[in-house]
Structure 1
Amino acid sequence: MLHDHELLNRPVRLEWPWFVSGVGALGVTTRLALFDISLSDRELPERILACRPVGQPKAEFLSIKILGSGTYLDAAGRRRSEDRLVELIVETHEANLSARLSVHHDIWADYDFFGRPHFDIYERNAPRLTAALQALDEVLGVTADPGDSTYFGAAEGYGLARTDPEDLIDGLGIDRSDKL
């Protein structure tokens, strides 16, 4: 689904932290480049487990980030590639599996991080995010939980909440660039 909407064109690496039950996080994170293997390869779980820290034979992981680049459309409609346009985190729990999609760019919002309106960029990109999230719901057979709001925005439905007109000052949104 993410590939179909060009949000994650080709996963290029995985990242995951290790922990030991009863001890906690080890402070060790593994990165595995996906040069010669795909996410659907049956050997991938063995390769992930082969990365376990040698001094910690009981080490486990709870989540894996799937990273790569995605494509966004700029104000002129040109395609631009961006590393980590979205981050897909797959969380493994004893009895179930869950996924979390994170976005870290202002292209999904109607105002950029500096509070400037960029409706052309928003209108070219936000519907792609919405379509990808709806497709994920259909495939997984569950409705996504929008998650918590952050300093930069809040999820609403299958996208980001639009800027409240009452928050505008002289036509500008809130400048959130202080946290970049």
Structure 2
Amino acid sequence: MRATTAVARWTWGRDLGGDSGAEAGVGPCLRKLFTAHEVLGRHRLMVGIPKVSVSVHEAGERNSYLFRGEIELRAVGSPLETAQEAAQRVHEAMSPGETGSVYAHIDGPGDVALGDAYRSEPGLFRLGGSALLGYVGVDLVTRTDFWLPYDLKGRPQPQVHAANAPRLSAALRDLAEALDSDTDPDDPTSFARPNETGAENFLGEDGNALDVWSSCELPARYDVFTHAPGFDRIGYRRTAEAEVTCVPIRSDDGTLFGHLWASEPENAASFEPEDIDDERTYHAGLLWLDRLRAAHDRGLSPAEALTELSVHRPDPDAGCADASGTHITVLRELRDQGTRPEYSGHEQGVGVAVGHEVMERDVVDGRGRDLTDRL
């Protein structure tokens, strides 16, 4: 199972020993990143030629970048050779200025062991690297549960665990050796508790694994449809108190994915999923949110966006609007019709968002010093 935020995270890091300047930031960051990538490749936890996203901040300027983009490698050699090629391409494209913090990450497919075979799994891990203020670090994040004795719904998965947990444990051991740094398990997330050899489920008082999918993942998914990003400041609002106009969205076989709705007086519009636990419904809803955001950015009002999207061409992933079912209702009543998640109060950990954007806002070095305000 795949969560929308991190299931577990591990970190490694050490001081740079007084290096400074652009080479001290970009070079060491990428060398450590590709050293770790080579280890994961040996264990088939990351496969293929990676695409590397790199951000180089200008020193003293929080929102100014000397470089921000993606590097596509032609081939992968030794970690040193690959890092040198990538660093050279970054330096050639960098704007003039003093280098501050450097961040890089790789999202890549990996192989999951299932019995005697392997299955390619997109985004099995995210591998990140950072360099700032004399410190270089690497972090590894997974959003999947193949490494746990129980899946995120609390169901036993002995064969999956037996086939994959030892692979992760061996990779963590080899990463510590290759990076010359102890493996540091991050704080517990909402889904699992990482340790030096892998991760473990949360157990209830009865000794059974908790269903963190229902208590944590489903509420997080549903929150996307009810709250706009940027504290409801980006795009249309995604909640309304008054009546809304809504249009059913159906799959090509007639299954109801949910409703697209809009409220002109409240500048609000969103998608209301019928069953947030259904993967097709969830991903269809995200596509409709993207279309609403694009309509907002083009200056359309909520009503204009709803009218335009009601005649959008059918899509096998997003479904299509059933304009004949257009009606007016109170949003609260519409939301009461479908399957909605309930918060259970499970707060074993905090959701860790996946991505170097979070690292940039909350950076702590290997000795526990908060470096965020010094970027």
Q: Structure 2 length normalisation: TM-score?
A: 0.42
SS in 1 for 2:71: strand
Aligned to 1:21: 59
CA contact (8 A) 2:204 2:210 kept: no
Task: Report the Cα distance in structure 1 between the residues aligned to 2:44 and 2:76, rounded to whole angstroms.
Answer: 20
Residue of structure 1 aligned with 2:85, choices 25, 30, 43: 43
Aligned to 1:73: 113
Matches within 5 A, 1:98-137: 98-137=137-176
Kindly state the Cα deviation for residue 102 of structure 1 after the two structures are TM-superposed. 1.1
Task: Report the Cα distance in structure 2 between the residues aligned to 1:71 and 1:86, rounded to whole angstroms.
Answer: 10
Inter-CA distance 73–14: structure 2 relative to 1 (3 Å threshold) = same
Deviation per residue, 1:4-30 (Å, 9 max, x gap): 111112342101234222221348841
Give the partner amino acid of 2:152. Answer: F
Aligned to 2:46: 8
Give the partner amino acid of 1:70. Answer: G
SS in 2 for 1:43: helix
SS in 2 for 1:86: strand
Give yes or no for the alignment of 1:63 onto 2:103: yes
CA contact (8 A) 2:58 2:97 kept: no
Deviation per residue, 1:111-168 (Å, 9 max, x gap): 2223322221111111101001111112233211111211121212210024425366
Hey, which of these two has a bigger chunk of helix by percent?
2
Give yes or no for the alignment of 1:140 onto 2:179: yes
Inter-CA distance 140–23: structure 2 relative to 1 (3 Å threshold) = closer
Task: Report the Cα distance in structure 2 between the residues aligned to 1:36 and 1:61, rounded to whole angstroms.
Answer: 27
CA contact (8 A) 1:117 1:172 kept: no
Question: Structure 1 regions of 5+ residues with no counterpart?
Answer: none
Aligned length: 176
Q: Which moves more between the two structures, 16-25 or 126-135?
A: 16-25
Residue of structure 1 aligned with 2:199, choices 160, 169, 173: 160
Task: Report the Cα distance in structure 2 between the residues aligned to 1:154 and 1:104, rounded to whole angstroms.
Answer: 13
Task: Report the Cα distance in structure 1 between the residues aligned to 2:68 and 2:203, rounded to whole angstroms.
Answer: 40
Question: Structure 2 regions of 5+ residues with no counterpart?
Answer: 1-38, 222-375
Give the partner amino acid of 1:111. Answer: Y
Give the partner amino acid of 2:153. Answer: F
Task: Report the Cα distance in structure 2 between the residues aligned to 1:137 and 1:36, rounded to whole angstroms.
Answer: 25
Task: Report the Cα distance in structure 2 between the residues aligned to 1:58 and 1:167, rounded to whole angstroms.
Answer: 57
Task: Report the Cα distance in structure 1 between the residues aligned to 2:180 and 2:117, rounded to whole angstroms.
Answer: 34
Tell me which structure has the larger Cα radius of gyration: 2
CA contact (8 A) 2:49 2:76 kept: no
Task: Report the Cα distance in structure 1 between the residues aligned to 2:47 and 2:170, rounded to whole angstroms.
Answer: 15
CA contact (8 A) 1:11 1:66 kept: no
Provide the identity percentage: 24
Kindly state the Cα deviation for residue 71 of structure 1 after the two structures are TM-superposed. 0.6
Task: Report the Cα distance in structure 1 between the residues aligned to 2:72 and 2:91, rounded to whole angstroms.
Answer: 14
Deviation per residue, 1:78-129 (Å, 9 max, x gap): 3111222112111112423221111111111122223322221111111101
